[in-house]
Amino acid sequence: MKKSYKIEVDCANCANKMEEAAKKTAGVKDAVVNFMALKMNVEFEDGADVDAVMKDVLKNCKKVEDDCEIFF
Amino acid sequence: MTKKQKKVLIRIILTAVMMVVLMIAYRLLGEEGTDSLGNTIQAKVKEPVWFILYMIPYLTIGYDILKKAFKGILNRQVFDENFLMAIATVGAIAIALVNKSGDYTEAIAVMLFYQTGELFQSYAVGKSRKNISDLMDIRPDSANLETDGDVISVDPDEVSVGSIIVVKPGEKVPIDGVIVSGRSTLNTAALTGESIPREVSEEDEIISGCINMTGVLRIRTTKEFGESTVSKILDLVENSSSKKSRSENFISRFAKYYTPAVCIGALALALIPPLFLLIGGKDPMWGSWVYRALTFLVISCPCALVISIPLSFFAGIGGASRAGILIKGSNYLEAAAKIKTVAMDKTGTMTKGVFEVGSIHKSCIDNDKLLEFAAHAECYSSHPIAKSIQRAYLSGMLWRVDVVTGEAFPVPDEGRKSDDPSRIIDKSRVGSVEEIGGNGVVAEVDGSKIAIGNNKLMDHLGIEFSECHHTGTVVHVAIDGKYSGHIVISDVIKPSAGEAVSRMHRAGVTKTVMLTGDAQNVAEAVASQIGIDEVLSELLPGDKVNAVENLLSEKGKNEVLAFVGDGINDAPVLSRADLGIAMGALGSDAAIEAADIVLMDDDPLKISKVINIARKCMRIVYENIYFAIGIKLLCLVLGAVGIANMWLAIFADVGVMVIAVLNAIRALSVKRL
């Protein structure tokens, strides 16, 4: 399943870091951060609990870039 | 400016003011030395106080950086730019403390410039992002829904299929539909980039995103908003920058190694030369080397690079979408810059795909009479050829193609009155109609038996016919079993096809190939007229894929083969080619799905435009990569040998970013390409 989320982040490099962090989160098959549109497209693994996974994604993103936000 | 940016701006101003005040105060009250008489002047205010005073502006401007750096260390994310700035400034303060120089201004200034740079970056990027998105924003805000004779304004999302919406002059059509009443002129500029007005009236299909120019239209929606053309286009453009190009990936990878590498370099610079000096029995000059190492760190922020590359692509894709060209990803834009071979379909791509009666030969009766019989015999058929015969009869015009320009124009047929209003197709004159297996029709018109069709039909009926040496589709007509002549129908070459091919060559295309299912003589005639290098004709749909595969194996490694088609029946070929370009896609979902690049209208000139937009964008991308990396390397070297101080380092960092961002914005203008 694929979902798109609005995000807030200040610099392009930080967006790249968020992408890396999101990709490494359990339950996420693939993630792409689009800095220009300020969007994160997440592809979840089958049967993943979207809300729980997104909480982890946000937690992991906060680790690499404190100043970021994902709206879900 | 956002709230966040305003807050930073206030902090910058506060810090700058405090710093100036402190510098003046230090001059007056803090300096020690000797006066002209040799007496020692004691500072009126002494050291720990200055340190505390200077820490106020430092923390005002840098507290968030220090906090982020600290958190970064806790999360084991060292080597980001916050860490760099924290180390550099804390280091500078430490040097000032050790040297007892009392010069804390440098640390504050570095932080100040860094924050100013960051502020500018976020402002410039935010601004350009907004500019580009605004340009592409063809999203309608509301729809006027008609309910029980009342018209209310609602969110387009809430309109269900089959509702009646009202579009007033000057408004955008919000949802795809069919006109129920009203007639108007539409401007499709937002979709196609060309403002050629389109006339519409009742029963016409209408596409969202067009602007209604003149009359009020009532439209019955045929799609939901989310499925309408305008939503599809927006979706496509917004997601396009998610498909990253190789240059973007290169920069992300580069940034990943660059910062740690610079940090290690800085550490080496701080430790190795002083140790050597120490071993050599000289003054190790710790302070000076640590300072150089700190300068090194300041230069290492990779943001200028990381921001300008995706911004360039975003601007390029945005500019293209304004010209009616949808590019589905940065990677496709990158590929389009390297197009060397263009394979294209004939019908609908280089020709209009609209058949017109070109000439009538060997007619033993009046041309007009022949057309009249033919048009009536075919009156129940909706086949394009039948339609063209009916059109030719009704208009009294034949089509001639200008050999020089390739332009087709209607000419009155000699011996026929072209403006005869009594010319109608009267179905009551037609008796029984029999279709003969895709080869033609035998119909009774005015009591005569009219056979109309191709060679096979004539053979089938045992009628002798004369071959035609003209290019085009030949339709024979026999009246009561007697051969009466044939009608030559030709597809009309698009007026700009010839120019399009020569522009493609000018844009760096080395080979143009036409793939068509049409007969060899027709294909070759078209190809030679518009200047195509190679023709592969009489191909079945499957053969086109094979032909493209052959072409793919012939081309060089770094060259790109693009296939241009109408996207309707050549989807497999579009996906097999390196780059699939669909044209005339306005209103065709299949084409938008299948292709990598979508031309909203059917003008073949857009093919070279795509290449030129892509080349300009890639040129800007490379300019930015070389420029930013070059300046950074130069500053790193200057910093290492001690020529560049921290101020220059900051200027280089921020300056490079500003220039790179401004350069990236240039990709947006594609008008004259």
- In this model, does residue B560 exceed pLDDT 70? yes
pLDDT band for position B403 (cuts 50, 70, 90):
very low
pTM summary value = 0.76
Angle separating helix axes B246-279 and B286-299, nearest 10 degrees: 180
Angle separating helix axes B229-240 and B303-322, nearest 10 degrees: 160
Question: What confidence tens digit (pLDDT) does each residue in B5-44 have?
Answer: 888 899 999 999 998 888 888 878 776 666 666 666 666 6
Interface of B with A in 72-101 (CB under 8 A): 72, 75, 77, 80-81
Question: What confidence tens digit (pLDDT) does each residue in B616-670 have?
Answer: 999 999 999 898 888 888 888 888 787 877 777 777 777 788 888 888 888 888 8
| Beta strands B40-41 and B33-34, pairing class | antiparallel
* Chain A interface includes B485 (CB < 8 A): no
pLDDT band for position B311 (cuts 50, 70, 90):
confident
Mean pLDDT of B184-213: 81
Q: Kindly identify which residue of chain A lies nearest to residue B253, measuring between CA atoms.
A: A16
Q: Which of A17, A37, A64 sits opposite B238 (nearest CB)?
A: A37
Handedness of CA B611, B614, B618, B620 (dihedral sign): positive
Question: For B399, left (φ over 0), alpha (ψ -120 to 50), or beta?
Answer: beta
Helix (H) or strand (E) holding B504: helix B497-506
Task: Give the active site residue among B134, B141, B176, B345.
Answer: B345
B253: closest CA of chain A, how far (Å): 10
Please give the mean pLDDT across all residues of chain B.
81
Q: Which residues of A touch B125 (CB under 8 A)?
A: 12
Range of the domain at B422: 352-493
In this structure, is residue B464 part of a structural domain?
yes
Q: What percent of chain B has pLDDT over 70?
A: 88
Q: What number of other Cβ atoms are within 10 A of residue B519's Cβ?
A: 15
- In this model, does residue B300 exceed pLDDT 80? no
Find the CATH number of the domain harbouring B218: 2.70.150.10
Dihedral angle over CA of B327, B331, B335, B337, nearest 10: 70
Residue type, B343: A
β-partners of residue B452 are: B441, B477
**Cβ within 8 Å, pair B118-A12:** no
What pLDDT is recorded for position B285?
A: 77
In this structure, is residue B165 part of a structural domain?
yes
What number of C-beta contacts closer than 8 Å exist between A and B? 59
In this structure, is residue B155 part of a structural domain?
yes
- Contact, B471 vs B525, CB < 8 A? yes
Residue with tokens 């003011």: B17
Which residues are CB-neighbours of B572 under 8 A, at least 6 positions away?
B541, B544, B545
* Chain B interface includes A41 (CB < 8 A): yes
What pLDDT is recorded for position B419?
A: 54
Question: What confidence tens digit (pLDDT) does each residue in B519-530 have?
Answer: 777 788 888 888
Q: Which residues of B touch A37 (CB under 8 A)?
A: 133, 238-239, 241-242
- In this model, does residue B405 exceed pLDDT 60? no
**Cβ within 8 Å, pair A11-B118:** yes
Q: Which of A11, A38, A39 sits opposite B307 (nearest CB)?
A: A11
Q: What number of other Cβ atoms are within 10 A of residue A26's Cβ?
A: 11
Give the integer Cα–Cα distance in Å for B131 and B153. Answer: 27
Selected residue of B67, B77, B118, B231 to mutate for chain A interface (largest A Cβ count, 10 A): B77
Dihedral angle over CA of B602, B608, B614, B619, nearest 10: -160
In this structure, is residue B175 part of a structural domain?
yes
B205: closest CA of chain A, how far (Å): 32
pLDDT band for position B571 (cuts 50, 70, 90):
confident
B53: closest CA of chain A, how far (Å): 29
pLDDT band for position B406 (cuts 50, 70, 90):
very low
* Chain B interface includes A34 (CB < 8 A): yes
Phi and psi at residue B562, to the nearest 5°: -110, 140
Closest by CA position to B221, among listed B184, B190, B181, B180: B180
Give the integer Cα–Cα distance in Å for B142 and B119. Answer: 35
Q: Which of B206, B231, B256 is the last residue of a domain?
A: B231
What pLDDT is recorded for position B509?
A: 92
Question: What confidence tens digit (pLDDT) does each residue in B452-465 have?
Answer: 888 878 888 888 88
Q: Which two tokens stand for residue B442?
A: 């035998």
**Cβ within 8 Å, pair B121-A11:** yes
The DSSP result for B251-269, as a single string, is HHHHHHHHHHHHHHHHHHH
Residue with tokens 């297996």: B437
Burial-class residue B308 by CB neighbours within 10 Å (0-12, 13-18, 19+): buried
* Chain B interface includes A56 (CB < 8 A): no
B597: closest CA of chain A, how far (Å): 20
Q: Which of B77, B242, B306 sits opposite A41 (nearest CB)?
A: B242
* Chain B interface includes A13 (CB < 8 A): yes
The most confident of the ranges B15-19, B365-369, B439-443 is: B15-19
- In this model, does residue B448 exceed pLDDT 90? no
Q: Which of B204, B231, B258 is the last residue of a domain?
A: B231
Closest by CA position to B74, among listed A67, A66, A15: A66
Closest by CA position to B406, among listed B489, B494, B535, B514: B494
* Of B673 and B223, more confident: B223
In this structure, is residue B72 part of a structural domain?
no
- Report CA Rg, chain A: 11
Q: What number of other Cβ atoms are within 10 A of residue B176's Cβ?
A: 24
| Beta strands B339-345 and B560-565, pairing class | parallel
The DSSP result for B313-341, as a single string, is HHHHHHHHHHTTEEE--HHHHHHHTTEEE
Q: Kindly identify which residue of chain B lies nearest to residue A61, measuring between CA atoms.
A: B75
**Cβ within 8 Å, pair B255-A64:** no
B589: closest CA of chain A, how far (Å): 21
Question: What confidence tens digit (pLDDT) does each residue in B272-283 have?
Answer: 888 888 888 887
A53: closest CA of chain B, how far (Å): 20
Triad B553, B559, B560: Cα angle to 5°: 85
Mean pLDDT of B519-543: 83
**Cβ within 8 Å, pair A12-B303:** yes
Mean pLDDT of B424-446: 82
Residue type, B642: G
Residue B419 is among the residues annotated as catalytic for this protein: no
Question: What confidence tens digit (pLDDT) does each residue in B321-344 have?
Answer: 888 888 888 899 999 999 999 998
Q: Looking at B75-104, list the stretches that DSSP marks H as alpha helix, in order from N- to C-terminal side.
A: 81-99
Q: Does domain A2-71 have CATH number 3.30.70.100?
A: yes
Angle separating helix axes B497-506 and B520-530, nearest 10 degrees: 60
Q: Which residues of A touch B310 (CB under 8 A)?
A: 12, 35-36
What pLDDT is recorded for position B36?
A: 65
* Chain B interface includes A12 (CB < 8 A): yes
Q: Which residues of B touch A38 (CB under 8 A)?
A: 129
Triad B562, B568, B569: Cα angle to 5°: 85
The helix/strand/coil state of B273 is helix
In this structure, is residue B221 part of a structural domain?
yes
Number of domains in chain B: 2
Q: Which of B187, B206, B231 is the last residue of a domain?
A: B231
Q: Which residues of B touch A36 (CB under 8 A)?
A: 129, 132, 241, 310-311, 314
Q: What number of other Cβ atoms are within 10 A of residue B49's Cβ?
A: 12
**Cβ within 8 Å, pair B310-A12:** yes
**Cβ within 8 Å, pair B81-A13:** yes
Q: Which of B67, B72, B306 sits opposite A13 (nearest CB)?
A: B306
Least confident of B267-271, B394-398, B550-554, B595-599: B394-398
- In this model, does residue B304 exceed pLDDT 80? no
What pLDDT is recorded for position B370?
A: 82
Question: What confidence tens digit (pLDDT) does each residue in B239-271 have?
Answer: 776 778 888 888 878 877 887 788 788 888 888
In this structure, is residue B202 part of a structural domain?
yes
Q: Kindly identify which residue of chain A lies nearest to residue B77, measuring between CA atoms.
A: A64
- Contact, B87 vs B297, CB < 8 A? yes
DSSP B28: I
State how far the alpha carbon of B565 is from the alpha carbons of B224, B285, B354, B398, B603, in Å: 28, 70, 15, 28, 12
* Chain A interface includes B311 (CB < 8 A): yes
**Cβ within 8 Å, pair A36-B71:** no
**Residue ranges for chain A with pLDDT beneath 70:** none
> What ipTM was assigned to the predicted interfaces of this complex?
0.76
